[in-house]
Amino acid sequence: MTTSFPATVNTTRHRFLFPALATLLIIGWSSGFVGIRYASEEASVAVLLFWRTLLSGIILLPFALAFGPKMQLRAVVSQMGFGVMAVFIYLGGFALAIEQHVPTGLVALMSDLVPLVIAAMSQPLLGERLTGRQWVGTAVAVGGVLIVSFDSLSFGTAPLWAYGVTIGSMIVFALASVLRSGRGSLNMPVHQSLCIHSLTGAALFGIWGLAAGGLEPPITREFAIGMAWLVLIATFAAYSVYYTMLRLFPVAKVSAAIYLSPPVTMLWAWMLFSEPLTPAMFLGLAVTLAGVWLTSKS
């Protein structure tokens, strides 16, 4: 079955739309590092993710109820299922892996291999056949990610199941992205779907946090700054642009932009925290850019 995408972009009229949206996506996606850096030392993973998703959902709720079509129960249930996969399992899985001392560099590398799994899933599930050039571009982009991440890779001392959680979370998010692109019931306005996803995640993270000891947030400047960053940029900007792009472009093309997240994250770290940049990082960025260009070029 071949899936047709509404407004799959006319390259003559919309040649700048994909680069513009991809730029916003990369900035929002990679900026999650900043919020985590500010807030993670102040609270547990469950508390951090509970307040991130709860605040996001509460802010969006009035707009979701007042603007857009009336939300039908069936559509809401479908969106809740996607929220479990793309918010609770994906964010919670990686956060739990880090909490269990899986090295952050290894977690980031596995997270940013999502586009490779999406590319593999999109043909059998959606009928989106990648060309030979796109597979070459995917391989080049993976190579760039490996170059950027090489210095930070280690296996650490985490339990074996924590590594399985890392891989499983990545696969679940890839599957959720493919299923979202192929199901009309998930094509409600972005502010409504993101509200449902956030509140679903908040309910599940709340249960996790209560079981772990409580949900009281720390009243500190660092936690407040990190939470504002996570809600406004890493959630509203990143997820809204991602969901919008999934409605406009083939899912494998959209996900290719995520390969640029590791090098851009390192630029964030350099600008905000004075973390060093190495020649390998710039080489990896150039290689990744070439791979993304090959994969997304019409």
Rounded to the nearest 10 degrees, the angle between the axes of helix 238-248 and helix 160-182 is 50
Residue 130 lies inside a defined structural domain of this protein: yes
How are the residues of the chain apportioned to helix, strand and coil, as percentages rounded to the nearest 5? 80, 0, 20
62 lies in a domain?
A: yes
Confidence category of residue 125, pLDDT binned at 50, 70, 90:
low
What 3-state class would DSSP assign to 9? coil
> Does 9 map to a domain?
no
Q: Evaluate whether residue 149 is within a structural domain.
A: yes
| Domain annotation covers residue 121 | yes
Range with top average pLDDT, 220-224, 251-255, 266-270:
220-224
On the question of pLDDT at 5 being above 60, the answer is no
- pLDDT, tens digit (0-9, with 9 covering 90-100), for 199-250: 999 999 999 889 888 888 888 887 888 888 889 988 888 888 888 887 888 7
Domain count, the chain: 1
Domain assignment of residue 11, yes or no: no
pLDDT score, position 205: 93
Residue 12 counted as domain residue = no
Q: Which residues lie closer than 8 Å to 117 by C-beta, 6 or more apart?
A: 170, 171, 174
Task: Say how many C-beta atoms besides its own lie within 10 A of residue 160's C-beta.
Answer: 6
Tell me, yes or no, whether 10 lies in a domain.
no
CB contact at 8 A, 33 and 265? yes
* Range 232-264 burial, b when 16+ CB lie within 10 A, else e: bbbbbbbbbbbbbbbbbbbbbbbbbbbbbbbbb
Per-residue pLDDT, 268: 76
Q: Which residues contact 141 (CB under 8 A, 6 or more apart)?
A: 115, 256, 259, 287, 288, 290, 291, 292, 294, 295
Distance of alpha carbon 208 from the chain centroid = 21
Quick check: 2 pLDDT over 60? Answer: no
The pLDDT value given to residue 14:
64
- Which structural domain, as residue segments, surrounds residue 198? 17-296
Predicted confidence (pLDDT) at residue 8 exceeds the cutoff of 70: no
Query: Mean pLDDT, to the nearest integer, of 168-185?
Result: 74
